[in-house]
């Protein structure tokens, strides 16, 4: 049975997809997500785990929260951030796997080229 053909997304949908990937295009945000993967954390815990300054970290947390990837839960004098869109890890894992495979392939090609040069 042939795969079901998806309808062409409209320009507004494509713009939203591009915006989502822009949020994920910042290494510091990926680092934050990595640390939140196992459990919610507050700003101080994230500062310590990531090495980011509080102002910089807060800016990234705001972007991730506005994008719907994180939620912010006030608890006492702190606020805890947690992943609300776990599909983000599917994207990240897929990208990491593809990059890893490409690096292995490039390494193999370089080794073969070195053997031919001898």
CB distance 85 to 68 below 8 Å: yes
pLDDT (mean) for 72-78: 93
**Whole-prediction pTM value?**
0.79
Is residue 118 scored above 80 in pLDDT? Answer: no
Taking Cα atoms as reference points, which of 83, 84, 93 lies closest to residue 41?
Answer: 83
CATH 1.10.10.10 fits 9-85, yes or no: yes
* Residue 38: pLDDT band with limits 50, 70, 90: very high
Helices (H) and strands (E) in the chain, counts: 5, 3
Q: How far is CA 5 from the centre of its chain?
A: 28
Sequence spans of domains, the chain: 9-85, 86-118
Q: Is residue 1 pLDDT above 60, yes or no? A: no
Sheet hosting strand 41-42, strand order edge to edge: 41-42, 78-83, 70-75
| Band (112; pLDDT cuts 50, 70, 90) | confident
Radius of gyration of the chain (CA): 19
CA geometry: angle 23, 26, 27, nearest 5 deg: 140
Q: How confident is the model at residue 2 (pLDDT cuts 50, 70, 90)?
A: low
Q: What average pLDDT does the structure give for the chain?
A: 91
């Amino acid at each position: 049975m042939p795969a079901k053909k998806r309808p062409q997304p409209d320009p507004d949908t494509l713009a939203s997809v591009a915006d989502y990937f822009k949020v994920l295009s910042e290494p510091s945000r990926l680092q934050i997500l990595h640390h939140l993967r196992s459990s919610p954390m507050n700003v101080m815990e994230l500062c310590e785990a990531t090495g980011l300054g509080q102002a910089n970290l807060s800016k990234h947390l705001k972007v991730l929260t506005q994008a719907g990837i994180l939620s912010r839960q006030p608890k006492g004098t702190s606020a805890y951030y947690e992943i609300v869109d776990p599909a983000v890890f599917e994207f990240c894992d897929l990208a990491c796997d593809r990059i890893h495979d490409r690096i292995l392939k490039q390494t193999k090609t370089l080794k073969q080229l070195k053997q031919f040069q001898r």
